[in-house]
Amino acid sequence: MKTRTECLKEYGSDYFINQMVAEGKLFRVDKGIFSEKEYVPELALLSYKYPNAIITMDTAFYLYGFTDEVPDVCTMETKREAAPISDKRVKQIFMPKELLGQGRTTMEYKGYDLQIFDRERMLIELVRYKSKLPFNYYKEILGNYRRILPQLNTEKIRNYAEAVPKSDKVIRTLRTEVY
């Protein structure tokens, strides 16, 4: 994918960009975003369009295979000071910037890189937002986490748990419900 600015550098003008689009060599996939492939997955487009946002919660649980419930919107976290995302395809969660970088990783999805939190950080987010999630949904995801527990890095989980607000409650929930 490329921005309009990158296309202007490559092709020289809007006229030549439009000519490439007309010839089917370039595709306009969103406002100001072009691709050499006709179809770009929506998650890849959103991750590219909002490079400072990280995929989290329902969307991340789905991508990691912890649930088969397809989310209606892409849930993304940004730092608190970030401008609101006015895209109806995105549900934005604001996070203190010191927590935003913890557990950030890249996942390949249908040939595109997505910015997403790792599985260990998503376990912490699951516990933190437990009261805001439907009970059966929470239990489904928690059960899937229990199945892969030996594959997870417990040191990372401990560090993430100690860094979040109300860490005592998070650690207690991890001990009683996960381990």
How far, CA to CA in Å, does 127 sit from each of 84, 160, 171?
25, 12, 9
Percent of the chain with pLDDT over 90: 93
- pLDDT, mean of residues 102-112: 95
Task: Give the residue from 72, 54, 69, 153 showing the smallest Cα distance to 113.
Answer: 54
Q: Phi and psi dihedrals of 161, rounded to 5?
A: -65, -40
pTM above 0.75, yes or no: yes
> Which bin fits 165, alpha (ψ -120 to 50), beta or left (φ > 0)?
beta
Q: Give the tens place of pLDDT for each residue, 40-82.
A: 999 999 999 999 999 999 999 999 999 999 999 999 999 999 9
Task: Give the residue from 77, 68, 65 showing the smallest Cα distance to 151.
Answer: 65
Average predicted confidence (pLDDT) for the chain = 94
> Which bin fits 78, alpha (ψ -120 to 50), beta or left (φ > 0)?
beta
